[in-house]
Structure 1
Amino acid sequence: MGKPKYQDDLSTPTFHRCNDSAKRQVPPQYELEDPLGSMPSSGATGVTSSLADDGRIDIDLDSHLTRTLVRWASKGESGVPDRRPSRRLTVFRTWSVRLNVVIQVVGSRGDVQPFIALGKELQRYGHRVRLATHDVFDPFVRESGLDFYPIGGDPKELMAYMVKNPGLIPSMKSFREGDIQRKRTMILQLLQGCWRACIENDPHTQQPFVADAIIANPPSFAHVHCAQALGIPLHLMFTMPWSSTRAFPHPLANFKASKISPAVINYASYGIVEWLTWQGLGDIINNWRNTLDLEPIPATVGPVLVENLKVPFTYCWSPALVPKPPDWGEHIDVCGFFFRDPPRYDPPADINTFIKAGQRPVYIGFGSIVIEDPARMTSVILEAVQSCGVRAIISRGWSNLGEGLSSYTDNVLFIDDCPHEWLFQHVAAVVHHGGAGTAACGLRNACPTTVVPFFGDQPFWGEMVAAAGAGPPPIPHQVLDSSNLARAISFCLTPEAMAAAHELSSKMSAESGVQAAAESFHANLPLEMIRCDVLPHLPAAWEYKRLPIKLSKVAAQVLIDNAVLGASDIRSYDIQPIFINNPRWDPVTSTSSASISWVHDITSSYTGIIHSPISELRRSNAEGASGGETAGRMATASAKQFGRLNMTIFKGLGVDIPYACAEGFRAVPKLYGEEVKDHGEVKDWSSGFEVAGKNFAHGMVDGITGLWTKPYQEGKSDGALGVAKGVGKGLLGFGSKITSASLGLMAYPGQGICKSIRRAAKSQTRKNVKALKKKEGEHLVRFLSEADVLTVLNRFEQRQKERVRPA
């Protein structure tokens, strides 16, 4: 069976499955059918949103809610393939700017290990790389030579939760046992830890560190918010599809057959999964954003935030296994699996002896998966091994398989941790949970693979391996027994499976995933924006107020130390600022959405008037405060909430609703295919007036002239019928553009003024970041020579002369 192929029509890959995977001895077909053809059989339950046996979300596409979500999630989908190559293949430059790069990773050891390989590669460019992940991985990261920052969270607890709740909807058992609240608490801890990882000193050396760029995997969740707070570039990297495409559905989504086009369903599945995720975490993220002085993200924006911002994305899997879909833009790359340099490993005597004692064994292990009944799993494995008549190496993993049994028999060896890079060179086939890293390592070593998925992307990788012919269809752990496991192992040992695995291995050996990912990271960085104008090998962190001169932390500190500049002469510089807006599609939905949010905020303010004084009373009683102090606290809390209520009423009626209405009317021409002019972002009061002026001028001119130009343009192509259509478009455009222009005169400046007021009131985070940047500059300047200092002074004087304009 050949590898997946992508055709020009971006039609849908269909996985043909059998309910009992043990009855099939051939891999599933992975082929492209007509986009209007039938959907793949997925075993959906017909419920609007429920869990399938493999942990994915079963969604009934004929329900009203789901159809609404499909329309909403597909609004950004143009239907036209992008077809532009990745920026890595179009941007050719030698990178020389040395950055502080923080890599944020949430997950198991298999999630962390690929980023160690990436971190080592980035160090070769001169970057200082900090890997921020769970505390338990401290030795693992530091032994590799990378900086480490602990973000909290227990990956073992996280894996146990995911095994119990493999999809996005938690089970009732988890609700009853309090797992949900514990997970939400852990998510908040991870968010806070990821932020600290961007700005705090190294825990061991106390060396200052403020990030210049962020690399992250999507489950770290904090990435885009940290990047916004710091004004620095963000690059996401992951081992499973997370970007909307018509080529295949989100790995966590399972759809019931519907009349909706499979290509549309595939594209919408990503937005629906993100929407479900945001429903569970949006309040936590917005509350945490408030501590960073960032505005809350609207519920309609949160699920599509990363895609709307076109955050660069690198997928670390082999294009020989899953090629890049044609509708992924140039900011999305498929680079190949990340492999670290093989560690030095001297195998224990028992492993060495066992491998040499007979035919190549089969490896069986589930790594960091926490299995609910490890004794049963051990029994199933041993029975299957005996039935096949093979030798096996069984990894105990986090579930401690084989507990209480002898570590060694004639045909089975139980082992603890052992590097897969070394071990998989000595086995005939591998059976594992389907983690991308383990699957990659097995295929790279030409090992046919059986996947026993538990959650997440594991079913996806099992299906990809089977589609390539290098293994049988994945066997969900819930239905695994000794019989179907034995048949799967037997399939892996067939000449056909071995030949397919060797073919994949040959193609993967020609790829350099880590090097390609580093190139992708650099190709997506704004070189001219990031480079210091005085020391071009360092990133800019400050900006000279009087002239457009960008300064690194070191350069600014040298100039301050030598009295060339004062601290008040520079301001913090954002390398790549992020502005989050709520896109509006039409005046009805935009105005109603803003009105609903306004009512919600008013209700929340009314509730706060009562709740806040009670909270202060409880806090005062717990602290033993006096009656007078308690009364003062309660009065202050009540006054704050009353002020918030008045501000909410004023801002909603005077700014938010008119702004949403103006944006909605401005977007109306999109409904009949006309391109809407971009008037820029409303960032502060000055840009608010600027946008209002542009919107008024263009709206009035285009609205009036459109009454004549639209009929003429349409009539040239479609005759009398075109003239009629043009008259309709002209009238609709006249009404919408004139209305938007009029409303915008008040709405855009009001929005800008509110942002300026909020920025002035919410400034503590920016002040903290400035202090930390200065602290790092003071630390680094100590390592400069006298010649280096003179270079900074001379170059700054030269840049001043170049920037001064003649009178």
Structure 2
Amino acid sequence: MRHVMALVGSRGDVQPALAVALELRRRGHEVVTGVAPNLLPLAQRLGLDPVPLGIDSAALLGSDLVRRDMRSARPVRRVRALRAVAAAGWDELRTGLTALLDDVGGADTVVTGLLGQEVAAAVAERRGLRTAALHYCPVRANGVVSPVSGVRGPRATRTAWVLGERVRWSLTRRAENAQRAALGLPGTRVHLPTRLREAGGVEIQAYDPALVPGLAAEWGPRRPFTGFLALDDAARARLGESGSGPDAGLDAWLDAGDPPVYVGFGSMPVADPPALVAAVEAACAELGVRALVSAGWNDFSGAHGTDGRRVRLVGAVDHAAVLPRCRAAVHHGGAGTTGAVLRAGLPAVVGWYSADQPLWGDLLRGAGVGVARRASTLTRPGVLTGALAEVLDDATAARAAALGARLVPAARAVAAAADAIDGGTRD
């Protein structure tokens, strides 16, 4: 069978799906991998021979549209920005995916993440192909997990989701129908979740059911749960991001003192890196801990002042190798990082920006293994220190360790995702 992967977005959107691509290929399937242009080197190091698809996700995340307009105090500007970001890169994804399918002579399944799913599903519909989508958090209406902090109860939760879906549809309907028209498809008044269900598509829930008890039973086999997806040891070694890779002294630093607090925001744009490092140093001094700060996609070159003994600055690190050597984590609440932190058995401070990140903050807080703060507040005096103080205690550490032990192992999660894609092609 041939599976075409249409993977756009940040590294957190793409890397988990690459683990599934490797598993499908190991099973003997032909896997054609399209990724955001800036993530070609990542997929190349994994040996997947990728092609560029869509737009540069790092450029989008660093643009004024995301960093300024989406956070504007003016509602009209903010709504316009949300609409633009929701459909950013759709033209490029449509033309790129269409050309890719032409080049390879078709496929059995189009596999996509959440971002760009509307376009990938439309291309698949036009070609008569099945769609398999990887979801890294709950994004469909349900009565279990609320999309809004403070909303409780099945009825109120479901109502909040329905309202949210209507808002999303109002933001994307015009752009989605424009893509359908470009493909020669009729316009639609039915939003994507309903169309995917009617077409027999599968929406794979690539996060752990332990965090959302009852949701798997509510959604059934068309939305199967797998657990958090992650690369295996051999694949991670090919990325060269272990503690002895890009920073040969990191192993020695980790061994030289107590387990540190990990601080990293992945692809999220840190507005003021020097201020964040200063807040980390202040928290470390007051709480008597060390911190390992990973720059991610940010430039921390201007963040001076640390002597490296209490606070160490590094580039990208292998979460699976480094996090088990830490005692807590401060991160943005992306699903991939959240899964890695939970698997390492660490309590967390989620400094969220947008999208699914506040939801993960709420879920960790509900599980008693974390707290959540808006990322922009972490540089205010005492905020990061206070948040860390809430999770650096024995009871929270014990809960985090117990939850980590319950999670679906990564290898089993990846295999389950591949099973769901295989099963979708056999229905």
- TM normalised by structure 2 equals 0.87
* 1:445 CA drift (Å): 1.3
Q: Please report how far the alpha carbon of residue 110 of structure 1 lies from its aligned counterpart in structure 2 after TM superposition.
A: 1.3
* Residue number among 367, 372, 381 corresponding to 1:474 in the alignment: 372
Taking structure 1 as reference, are residues 173 and 244 closer, same or farther at Cα in structure 2, changes over 3 Å only? closer
Equivalences for residues 124-143 of structure 1 within 5 A: 124-143=26-45
Q: In the alignment, is the contact (CA less than 8 A) between 1:381 and 1:482 conserved in 2?
A: no
1:222 Cα deviation from its structure 2 partner: 1.2
Q: Which residue of 2 aligns with 1:116?
A: 18
User: 1:290-689 alignment to 2 at 5 Å?
Assistant: 290-298=181-189, 300-301=190-191, 304-309=194-199, 311-325=201-215, 326-342=217-233, 343-344=236-237, 345=242, 346-347=244-245, 348-401=247-300, 403-405=302-304, 408-471=307-370, 473-480=371-378, 481-508=380-407, 510=409, 512-527=412-427
CA shift, 1:294, in A, is 1.2
Equivalent residues, number: 413
Offset of residue 393 of structure 1:
0.7
Q: Is the 8 A contact 1:362 1:430 kept in 2?
A: yes
Residue equivalent to 1:6: none
Question: Counterpart amino acid of 1:227?
Answer: A
Deviation at residue 380 of structure 1 after TM alignment: 2.3
Equivalent residues in 2 for 1:71-220, closer than 5 Å? 99-160=1-62, 161-162=65-66, 164=68, 171-172=75-76, 184=87, 186-200=89-103, 208-220=104-116
- 1:426-476 Cα offsets, whole Å, 9 max, x none, are 2111110011111111111112211111111111111212222222x2111
Q: Which amino acid aligns with 1:231?
A: G
CA contact (8 A) 2:149 2:362 kept: no
Give the direction of change, closer, same or farther, for the CA distance of 1:171–1:450 in structure 2 (3 Å limit). Answer: same
**Cα distance in 1 between the residues matched to 2:174 and 2:150:** 27
> SS of 1:222's equivalent?
helix
TM-score, structure 1 normalization: 0.48
Root-mean-square deviation (CA, aligned residues, Å) is 2.8
Deviation, structure 1 residue 124 = 1.8
**1:175 Cα deviation after fit:** 7.6
Instruction: Quickly say closer, same or farther: Cα 1:180–1:228, change in 2 above 3 A.
Output: closer
- SS at structure 2 position matched to 1:130: strand
Q: CA deviation at 1:147?
A: 3.4
Q: Report SS of the residue matched to 1:313.
A: strand
- Alpha-carbon shift at residue 341 of structure 1 (Å): 0.9
Give how far 1:164 is off.
Answer: 4.7
Question: What is the identity, as a one-letter code, of the residue corresponding to 1:108?
Answer: S
- Cα deviation code 1:379-412 (max 9, x no counterpart): 3222222222211111122232352415742211
Q: CA deviation at 1:422?
A: 1.2
User: Within 2, Cα distance between the matches of 1:277 and 1:296?
Assistant: 17
More RCO (CA 8 Å, sep 6+): 2
Deviation at 1:338, TM superposition (A): 0.6
CA distance in 2, matches of 1:119, 1:157: 25
Counterpart mapping for 1:279-298 below 5 A: 279-298=170-189
Q: Does the 8 Å CA contact 1:363/1:392 hold for their aligned counterparts?
A: yes
Contact 2:61 2:269 in 1 (8 A): yes
Offset of residue 349 of structure 1: 2.8
| Matches of 1:384 and 1:358, distance apart in 2 | 17
Q: 1:167 to 1:121 in 2, by over 3 A?
A: farther
For the Cα contact (< 8 Å) 1:234–1:312, is it kept in 2? yes
Quickly say closer, same or farther: Cα 1:286–1:452, change in 2 above 3 A.
Answer: same
2:259 match: secondary structure: coil
Q: Which runs of 5+ in 2 are unaligned?
A: none
Say which one has the larger Rg. 1
| Alpha-carbon distance in structure 2 between the residues aligned to 1:483 and 1:171 | 30
Query: Alpha carbons of 1:357 and 1:109: their partners in 2 closer, same or farther (altered >3 Å)?
Result: same
Contact 1:274 1:304 in 2 (8 A): no
* Structure 1 stretches lacking a partner, 5+ long: 1-98, 201-207, 528-807
- Measure the CA separation in 1 of the matches of 2:180 and 2:45: 34
1:237 aligns with 2:145: no
